[in-house]
């Protein structure tokens, strides 16, 4: 029975990782306590190294092509010397642009 519980928790953790949801949201959906999921993440992390715990910080993502087609191209793009680009999607006052570039 203990091995069955372990396999069940591995599958639950894998489903959580693939879901892209927060721990709280996923656990609410699955009817599991977040503390239970955290316990099993900690317990299995050493034995489940092919899929380690997610790290804090930025997570890479890609936009769906249909989403990028909905967004109109900018009316104006300001390229600053620092390498930063600012896209303007509506009409703006010239004084605003001057302040932006200072």
Mean pLDDT in consecutive groups of 10 residues from the start of the chain, 102 residues = 78 86 88 88 64 57 56 75 79 78 69
**Residue 79 forms part of a structural domain:** yes
Contacts of 45 (CB under 8 A, 6+ apart): 52, 53
Q: Which pLDDT belongs to residue 31?
A: 92
Per-residue 3-state assignment (H helix, E strand, C coil) for the chain: CHHHHHHHHHHHHHHHHHHCCCHHHHHHHHCCCHHHHHHHHHHHCCCCCCCCCCCCCCCCCCCCHHHHHHCCCCCEEEECCCCCEEEECCCCCHHHHHHHHC
**Residue 10 forms part of a structural domain:** yes
**Residue 88 forms part of a structural domain:** yes
Segments forming the whole domain that contains residue 81: 71-101
Q: Which pLDDT belongs to residue 1?
A: 45
Q: How many domains does the chain have?
A: 2
């Amino acid at each position: 029975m203990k091995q069955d519980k372990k396999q069940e928790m591995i599958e639950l953790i894998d489903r959580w990782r693939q879901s892209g949801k927060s721990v709280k949201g996923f656990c609410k959906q699955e009817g599991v306590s977040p503390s239970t999921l955290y316990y099993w993440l900690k317990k299995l992390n050493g034995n489940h190294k092919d899929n380690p715990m997610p790290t804090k910080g930025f997570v890479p993502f890609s936009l769906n092509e249909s989403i990028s087609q909905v967004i109109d191209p900018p009316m104006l793009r300001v390229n600053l010397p620092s390498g930063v680009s600012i896209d303007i999607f509506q009409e703006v006052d010239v004084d605003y642009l001057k302040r932006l570039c200072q």
